[in-house]
Each structure stands twice: as structure tokens, then as C-alpha cells.
């Protein structure tokens, strides 16, 4: 008789956004007359920018002719895209990153979940708390996290670094030494970020203790303040301790189109072994690349026209963020984030448990958000709203919340 991977059985409940989806679907079924506004999952609502659509059309046409047809993509991704990334995302920010250190993929969610498999099972991970659930759940699946304590909602072999209003959402170096440190800035879920100087401290710390930082920069396009780094490679020494994950979902609306990339500098080594060679081996063995037409669409994001159109989209969402933030403040809420990220993190009224506030908001305002405790124990008493809705829905949702 076959046996299952028992690590999966250790996972409590289903994936956070699946649980929310089910709850909302049940509420809709019971209340078909209600108009529900979702500011829950961070999914975009604006259509793909015209330059991207133009590029998709022309790539589709290429696929219909023998002379310009494309089969399997090169292992690391097409050079036209990797060169554009290296130039615009790295060289222009003063980062020493080369096209052959960039691995194109179908998104940062998969990469952030898969990257752990190139590390030994007995490595200890450290995560911010609250945290994007993928980092922890995929380490659970791999069997790296020990046992789960339902009373504290923590894993015995995970180092949690609380990020709350008390420490300005900036994690402290943990007491216990980690091997792998997951950082996401600008942060999901809190919508806050750290300064470049603070990030430099993390790079120095990781180099000192021989840890690797897995740096999720999916929300980089939303940075509005000058003292925030757009890439961890702006920090000195990051080439020997950091892997960076990027996404086209949030800056260019590719949540349904799927495109992302991971940077593994060739200087990042465990003894003689480069992590680059392991990730390349993994990529080559398990993955056949993002589709040609999608990589062409990604390339369009880096053209002058594409950049201008995406800048407008980001500004559109950040205007929503402002509406949410100001509206909630007017209504008496304590709010964080929303300045360098499309997420607003609010304290629930009277320390109401996050899931109770979720039910309260769904029932009384027909607005869906994400309970802070779904991202980790230190998220209890907090709640996340996204700025990715339409302008009208955002205004309406805030009016409804104000009227409560
Ligand atoms: C979120 O809502 O946290 C994000 O949409 C999840 C994701 O990007 O996978």
C-alpha cells in the first residue's frame, strides 16, 4: 500500500485564501441579494496595459507561423527578457546582477514555495510574524518545521520574528541563529517596510552568521519613499547571502498571466557549491519555462511606453490605498502600511479577534478582508485590506465601513 507524505497531514486547515474563498462563497449562497466587495486576496483588477496587450498579440501571431514559432523556452528564460530585467531592475539601481543570474518563472508564489528544496532538511528557518503563508506551509510540506502547537499556532522548529506596532513592524534579529531567513519588503501582509539602512543590517547579520536571506520583493513597484531599497542587492554584501524573488503580478497585473523571476547570484555558496548551480539543476529538471508569449509580454513592461503605463497603474492602486487609509482613520481605526505597499493593516476595534472581525465585516458591511491571524499569531488583532479593488468598490467599501 502506498503511503502519503505525512508532513501534509500536519498542515492545519486549508490554505488561507482558500478558507476565505469558501467562507465568502457560503455567505453569498445564503445571501444572494447582497453585493459583496472583496478587498481580501491581493488580486489586481485593472486590465493589462495597452503596451502589454500589443506585445501579446504580436507574440501570438508569431506562434502561428513556422518561421517564428517557439517551442520550449531556454532553461533560465529568454535572453531578451533577462537582459531587460538585468538592465532596468538591477543595473539602473546600481546593483551588480547579471542576466545569467536571473531565472524566469511563472511567478513568485511558486518560486518562494519551491526554493526551500535546495536546502538541507535540518536547516532552521526564520520568518516574520505575520507572514505570507507560503513560506511556512511549504517548509511544513518538506518536513522542516517540527510539530505544530495549536494553542500558540506556531511550529516547534520555526523561528518567529514578531512584527507589530510595538516594534514598528521591523523584525529584531532572533535570539536563536537561523540558517534561512525569509524577508518580504515592502511587506505582505502589513503593508509596511524597512529602510535601506535596516536592510543592510540584515545583510550584514546574514553574512556574519552564514545564513541565506530569501528576499521577496514582489511589491517593489509600490515603494514611494527614497530611503527604501528596491532590491536587496542595493546593499553591500548581498551577493554572498541573498536570493531575491520578483513578480509581474502586482506591478503589471500578471496574476492571471503568470510571470516572475528569481535572482541567485553566483557568489552565493555553501562551501564550494553555488546555490545558482542547484537552482539551475532544479529549474532544468522540474520546469519547462514560462510561455514565450508571456515572456514577450514581460519584456513589454520594460519599454518606455510600458513603464509609463505601469507607473499609472501603480498610482491608481496607491490612490485606493490612500482612500482606505484616510477613510479608516476618519472612522477611528488605527492603520498602518499603504505608503510603500498596496496593503493597509488595521487594528481591529477593541482588540476583536481577527476572524470575528472578518465575520463582522462580511455580515454588516458585505466587505471581505483578510484576518491578520491567518498570517501568524502576531497578526491577531489586526486585519488586512488591499488597494487592488476598483476605484468605485474601494470608495463604496470605505463608506460602508464608516457607516458601521
Ligand atoms: C495575498 O493576498 O497575500 C497575495 O495575493 C497572495 C499572492 O500573491 O499569492
For residue range 298-345, list pLDDT tens digits in order.
Answer: 999 999 999 999 999 999 999 999 999 999 999 999 999 999 999 999
- Is residue 249 very low, low, confident or very high in pLDDT (cuts 50, 70, 90)? very high
Q: How confident is the model at residue 101 (pLDDT cuts 50, 70, 90)?
A: very high
pLDDT tens, position by position, 299-311: 999 999 999 999 9
**Does the annotation place 400 within a ligand binding site?**
no
- Ligand 1: atom nearest CA of 43 is 5
Q: What is the pLDDT of residue 181?
A: 98
Pocket of ligand 1 (CB under 6 A): 41-43, 109, 132, 188
- Which atom number of ligand 1 is nearest to the Cα of residue 255? 8
Query: Once rounded to an integer, what is the mean pLDDT over residues 160-187?
Result: 98
With H, G, I as helix, E, B as strand and everything else as coil, classify residue 287: coil
Complex prediction ipTM: 0.93
Per-residue pLDDT at 172 exceeds 90? yes
Question: Which pLDDT score is estimated for 12?
Answer: 86
pLDDT over 90 (residue 54)? yes
Nearest CA to ligand 1 atom 4: 42
> How high is the pLDDT of residue 22?
94
pLDDT at 226: 97
Q: Ligand 1: which of 17, 254, 379 to mutate, most ligand atoms within 8 Å of CB? A: 17
Q: Mean pLDDT over residues 255-284, rounded?
A: 97
Q: What are phi and psi of 291, to 5 degrees?
A: -60, 145
C-alpha dist (Å) from residue 16 to 70, 215, 247, 258, 330: 37, 21, 20, 20, 30
Q: Do the annotations mark residue 7 as ligand-binding? A: no
**Mean pLDDT across the chain:** 97
Gap between the Cα atoms of 386 and 381, Å rounded: 17
Instruction: Determine the distance separating the centroid of ligand 1 and the alpha carbon of 27, expressed in angstroms.
Output: 22
Confidence of residue 396 (pLDDT cuts 50, 70, 90): very high
pLDDT value at residue 85: 98
Exposed/middle/buried for 67, CB within 10 Å: 0-12, 13-18, 19+?
exposed
Distance CA 96, CA 239 (A): 8
For residue 95, the tally of other CB atoms under 10 A from its CB is: 21
Inform me whether the pLDDT recorded for 17 exceeds 90: no
Looking at the predicted structure, is the pLDDT value of residue 14 above 90?
Answer: no
Concatenated DSSP letters of 213-266 = EEEE-TTGGG--STTS-SSGGGSTTGGGTEEEEEESHHHH-TTTT--EEEE--T
How far is ligand 1, taken at its centre, from the CA of residue 108, in Å?
A: 10
What residue owns the CA closest to ligand 1's atom 3?
A: 42
Contacts of 133 (CB under 8 A, 6+ apart): 15, 16, 374, 375
pLDDT band at 15 (very low <50, low <70, confident <90, very high): confident
Task: Please check if 144 is assigned to a binding site.
Answer: no
In the chain, the domains with their CATH numbers are 7-47+305-402 (3.90.1150.10), 53-304 (3.40.640.10)
Per-residue model confidence (pLDDT) at position 16 = 86
pTM of the model: 0.97
**Is the pLDDT reported for residue 228 higher than 90?**
yes
Q: How confident is the model at residue 392 (pLDDT cuts 50, 70, 90)?
A: very high
Q: Which atom of ligand 1 is nearest to the CA of 250?
A: 8
**Mutation test of ligand 1: which of 18, 24, 42, 113 has the most ligand atoms closer than 8 Å to its C-beta?**
42
Q: How far apart are CA 286 and CA 259, in angstroms?
A: 17
Average pLDDT over residues 47-70: 98
Amino acid at each position: 500500500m502506498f503511503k502519503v507524505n505525512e508532513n501534509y497531514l500536519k498542515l492545519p486547515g486549508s490554505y488561507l485564501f482558500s478558507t476565505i474563498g469558501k467562507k465568502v462563497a457560503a455567505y453569498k449562497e445564503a445571501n444572494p441579494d447582497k453585493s459583496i466587495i472583496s478587498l481580501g486576496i491581493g488580486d489586481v483588477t485593472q486590465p493589462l496595459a495597452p503596451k502589454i496587450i500589443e506585445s501579446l498579440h504580436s507574440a501570438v501571431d508569431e506562434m502561428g507561423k513556422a518561421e517564428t514559432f517557439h517551442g520550449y523556452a531556454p532553461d533560465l528564460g529568454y535572453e531578451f527578457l533577462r537582459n531587460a530585467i538585468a538592465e532596468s531592475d538591477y543595473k539602473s539601481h546600481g546593483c551588480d546582477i547579471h542576466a545569467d543570474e536571473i531565472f524566469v518563472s511563472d511567478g513568485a508564489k511558486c518560486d518562494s514555495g519551491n526554493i526551500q528544496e535546495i536546502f538541507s532538511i535540518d536547516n532552521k528557518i526564520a520568518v516574520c510574524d505575520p507572514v505570507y503563508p507560503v513560506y511556512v506551509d511549504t517548509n511544513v510540506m518538506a518536513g522542516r518545521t517540527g510539530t505544530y502547537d495549536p494553542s500558540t499556532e506556531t511550529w516547534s522548529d520555526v523561528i518567529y520574528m514578531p512584527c507589530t506596532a510595538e516594534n514598528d513592524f521591523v523584525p529584531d534579529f532572533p535570539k536563536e541563529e537561523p540558517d534561512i531567513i525569509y524577508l518580504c519588503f515592502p511587506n505582505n501582509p502589513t503593508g509596511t517596510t524597512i529602510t535601506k539602512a535596516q536592510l543592510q543590517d540584515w545583510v550584514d547579520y546574514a553574512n556574519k552568521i552564514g545564513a541565506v536571506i530569501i528576499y521577496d520583493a514582489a511589491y517593489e513597484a509600490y515603494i514611494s519613499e527614497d530611503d527604501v531599497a528596491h532590491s536587496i542587492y542595493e546593499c553591500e554584501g548581498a551577493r554572498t547571502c541573498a536570493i531575491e524573488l520578483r513578480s509581474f503580478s502586482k506591478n503589471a497585473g500578471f496574476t492571471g498571466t503568470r510571470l516572475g523571476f528569481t535572482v541567485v547570484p553566483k557568489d552565493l555558496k555553501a562551501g564550494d557549491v553555488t546555490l545558482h548551480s542547484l537552482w539551475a539543476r532544479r529549474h532544468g529538471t522540474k520546469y519547462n519555462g514560462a510561455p514565450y508569449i508571456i515572456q514577450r509580454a514581460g519584456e513589454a513592461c520594460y519599454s518606455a511606453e510600458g513603464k509609463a503605463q505601469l507607473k499609472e497603474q501603480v498610482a491608481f492602486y496607491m490612490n485606493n490605498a490612500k482612500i482606505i487609509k484616510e477613510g479608516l482613520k476618519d472612522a477611528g481605526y488605527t492603520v498602518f502600511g499603504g505608503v510603500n505597499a498596496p496593503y493597509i493593516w488595521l487594528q481591529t476595534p477593541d482588540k476583536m479577534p481577527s476572524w470575528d472581525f472578518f465575520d463582522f465585516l462580511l455580515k454588516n458591511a458585505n466587505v471581505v478582508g483578510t484576518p491578520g491571524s491567518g498570517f501568524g499569531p502576531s497578526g491577531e488583532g489586526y486585519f488586512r485590506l488591499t488597494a487592488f479593488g476598483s476605484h468605485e468598490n474601494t470608495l463604496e467599501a470605505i463608506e460602508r465601513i464608516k457607516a458601521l
